[in-house]
Amino acid sequence: MTSSGTKPHVDKSLEGIGVRQYHIGIAPGEVSSVALLPGDPFRVPFVAEFLSDVKEVAHNREHRTMTGWYKGRHITATSTGMGCPSTAIAVEELARVGVTSFIRVGSSAGLQPGIVPGDLLVSEGSFRNDGTTDAYLPKGFPAVPDLELTMSLARHSTRLAEASGTQSHTGISVSDDAFYAETPEWIAQLNTMGILNVEMEASALYIVARMRGLRAGMVCACSSNLVDGASLYDHKNSALKDGWMRSIEAALETAVELEL
C-alpha cells in the first residue's frame, strides 16, 4: 500500500514474469530460444512443414504457436498478427517465456523497380512510420536488426533465391500503420528515398528487441510491387507461397548456423 492508503500503480514491466502469458497463451518451458514470426496464424503451419516432432502449443487471438525440430535446433513459430501493436505484445511475451532471438518471415510490398513478387527481401533497418515504437523511444532512435543475424539471412536468402531462379534484395524497409492510407504520393516519396519495401511489423520487432537485449531480423517474400504494379496477393498463387517457403528456409538455416 502507498502512504495514502491506495494501491500502487501496476508496473507492466514486471507483469507476466514466470507465468503463462495473457495474449499468446504460452508458459515458460513450452517454447525454444528462437522464434520465427509470420504475421498470419495460418502461415505458422508453413513453418511446421520444415520441422519434425511438431506440437501446437497455443492459439489465442491472432497468436498461434507451434514448435518442432530442424537440423538439431529446437524451433518455435508464433504469429504476430498484423501491425506493430500486436507484434510488440508477441515479442514482449515471448521474451518473458525464454525466447531470445526473433526472425520475422512475412509478406511485403516492393518499392523499387525490378523487385518481382516471390523475390526475397532482407531488411537492414526499418523507417519507423508507426505509432507503437514512439511509446518506447523517440523517433531519432533507429530501428535496426541484429547485424550478424541479418548477414546470415542475406547469405541464405541469396543462395535459395539463386537456386530457384528468383532474386534476393537487401535494404531499408518501412513499417506503416495504415495499409489503406498509403497514397500514390506516399509510395512515390518512399521510392525516391530509396526504401526497398513496406510492411507493418519490423520496426516494433527491432525496437523491442533492442530494448530487451534480444536479437531480431527479417526476411520477407515480396507479394506485390507498388511501383511496377505487379501483385500476387492471391494466396492460391504458387509463386507467393514459394517465396514464403524460401523465406522460412532462410530463417531456419540462419537459426542453425548461428545456434540461436
Whether 110 and 224 have beta carbons less than 8 Å apart is answered as: yes
Q: In the CATH hierarchy, which fold is given to the domain comprising 17-257?
A: Rossmann fold (3.40.50)
Q: Name the nearest CA neighbour of 122 among 144, 92, 89, 100.
A: 144
Residue 238, φ and ψ in degrees, nearest 5: -65, -30
List b or e across 39-60, with b for residues whose CB sees 16 or more CB atoms inside 10 angstroms.
Answer: bbbebbebbbebbeebeebbee
Predicted pLDDT of residue 217 = 98
- CA-CA-CA-CA torsion sign (19, 216, 72, 51): positive
Predicted pLDDT of residue 5 = 65
Which residues in the chain land under pLDDT 70?
Answer: 1-5, 230-237
Predicted pLDDT of residue 153 = 98
Predicted pLDDT of residue 4 = 56
Whether 17 and 229 have beta carbons less than 8 Å apart is answered as: no
Q: Where are the alpha helices (DSSP H) in the chain?
A: 44-48, 84-96, 147-164, 184-192, 202-212, 238-257
Output the CA angle 259-257-169, nearest 5 degrees: 125
DSSP 170-194: EEEEEEES-GGG--HHHHHHHHHTT
Predicted pLDDT of residue 237 = 63
Whether 41 and 59 have beta carbons less than 8 Å apart is answered as: yes
Report the percentage of the chain scoring pLDDT > 70: 95
Predicted pLDDT of residue 51 = 98
Residue 75's Cβ-side half-sphere holds a number of Cα atoms within 13 Å equal to 29
